[in-house]
Amino acid sequence: KAANGIADALLTTVLLALPSDTPMVLAPAMNTRMWENPAVQRNLGILRDLYGRRLHQVGPVSKELACREEGLGAMAEVGEIFDVVQAVLLRS
């Protein structure tokens, strides 16, 4: 939704309303097949093109997923996400 400018929920509404210099941290989490889907990868590329250096991605990581499969798609550990958010805020 963010890659296509759809603001039908609080998160996407806030994202689209942010000042153009606001850094963002993205921590994707999904099933491996979803992560590898060309549409998901295309949309990530769009986000990178739109937001450039102010978009900071953390993960996904490879481990056992909620679907009980092993693979890439799990959300990064909370501590790792926190560290990235802290580093981004300290640079701002």
Q: Would you please indicate which residues are annotated as catalytic (active-site) residues?
A: 67
Taking CB atoms within 8 Å and a gap of at least 24, the contacts of 4-11 are: 4/43, 4/46
Element (H, E) at 89: helix 78-91
Residue 29, SS3 per DSSP? coil
| Residues 74, 29 contacting (CB under 8 angstroms) | yes
Cα–Cα dist 18/22, whole Å: 6
